[in-house]
Amino acid sequence: MERKRETIIHQQLGSYDQTVFDSVEEAGHYKLASEGKYGWEMPADTATEVVLRHSIGKNVMELGCGWGNTFTLPALERGASEVYAIDITAEHVSEKSPMVSIAESLGKSDHLHRILVRPQWWHTGLLREPTVKELLRNHNVDVFNPEENVNETPPDNSLDLLFARHSIQFGTVQSTLRVFDLASASLKDGGSFMSINFTPYTNYLYKFDNGNTISHISEMNRQFEDGKIAVPGGFLNGQYGPTGLTLQKVVGREDLGQESTFLYFDRPTIHGLLDLWRETRERRSLPSDLTLNDDYYFTPDRIAQFNKLYDGPEDIQNKENYFFQLLKIA
């Protein structure tokens, strides 16, 4: 069946075409919590393609690699020098993972390095300058099987690019600060930390009470940016989140569990997180060597029609994904 195509003009991504679907299911918003564990299986997007262009001939690391289909394997195929793949699921980085066999078929086995960490790895505090190995291999790290060559951490200050796609949004403020620490320890001067965080829950938040909650969250995010509150409004957690809402309640899915957390990213949130990270670095007498270089919203090709299926305000449409890039400065 022929699909309608429309051209999108984006100030950062330029001009590109996207397919318009007739239903939420066709647009990709139907598979929840099974293979993807945390959310919808999202299609590849234009911004990921932009990130992949930065991997050619470079040392790169993907945080939350999954099966490697979106970034790790394409980076290897396109000629990345060394690729480090980190995940919390043992099957994704085991010797029997399809990621390993595909790397072998590409003749790139020696360039793929796998790291397994527990979901809680980022909560361990360090009061001094942490190394990459300490940030990834401490007492909270579950070594899957040393005989299978897992947990090959990169040397400090050796990466050109650290990439996290649809992963850090399912953490906390503390976990995000730890990821920033990892970026600082692992990146070369001039290296980039790029992250894409999807926000399909924007629609759920709007429908929850006809926009009152999403407006309240946006205002609290601005207060977080100004240092007036300690946690951004978009942190969904029944016990610690400012709104008291859980992802389970917003989405209406009991199977998500009350412990599920979600961190809604927007520009005030990332500014506030960076300011908070700099404060923690100063208290530890560590350099604040990350700066925000670029950020923007975008909607993947297959999600175009999703935004047309509800009567939300224009200022929250086309905000399915939020991209940001941090640079490590000397």
- The pLDDT of residue 32 is 35
Task: Give whichever of 38-42, 165-169, 276-280 has the largest mean pLDDT.
Answer: 276-280
When pLDDT is cut at 50, 70 and 90, the band that residue 149 belongs to is low
Cα separation, 180 vs 326, whole angstroms: 9
| 306 or 240: which leads in pLDDT | 240
Q: Which amino acid is it at 52?
A: L
| Mean pLDDT of the region 124-132 | 75
**pLDDT of residue 15 exceeding 90:** no
Do residues 291 and 277 touch, judged by C-beta distance below 8 A?
no
**pLDDT of residue 190 exceeding 70:** yes
**pLDDT of residue 33 exceeding 50:** no
- Residue 166 zone, left/alpha/beta (φ > 0; ψ -120 to 50; rest): left
Residue matched to tokens 């293979």: 35
Q: What are the distances in angstroms from CA 208 to CA 122, 200, 214?
A: 31, 13, 9
Other beta carbons within 10 angstroms of residue 155's beta carbon come to 11
Rg (alpha carbons) of the chain, rounded to whole number: 19
What are 164's strand-pairing partners? 63, 195
| Secondary structure of the chain in HEC code, one letter for each residue | CCCEEEEEEECCCEEEEEEECCCHHHHCCCCCCCCCCCCCCCCCCHHHHHHHHCCCCCEEEEECCCCCCCCHHHHHHHCCCEEEEEECCHHHHCCCCHHHHHHHHCCCHHHEEEEECCCCHHHCCCCCCCCHHHHHCCCCCCCCCHHHCECCCCCCCCEEEEEEECCHHHCCHHHHHHHHHHHHHHEEEEEEEEEEEECCHHHHHHHHCCCHHHHHHHHHHHHHHCCCCCCCCCEECCCCCCCCCCHHHHHCCHHHCCCCCEECCCHHHHHHHHHHHHHHHHHCCCCCCEEEEEEEEECCHHHCHHHHCCCCCHHHCCCCEEEEEEEECC
- Which of the residue ranges 73-82, 251-260, 310-319 would you say has the lowest mean pLDDT? 310-319
| 84 or 28: which leads in pLDDT | 84
When pLDDT is cut at 50, 70 and 90, the band that residue 246 belongs to is confident
**pLDDT of residue 29 exceeding 50:** no
- The pLDDT of residue 36 is 36
Cα separation, 72 vs 68, whole angstroms: 5
pLDDT digits (tens, 9 = 90+) for 202-216: 667 777 888 888 889
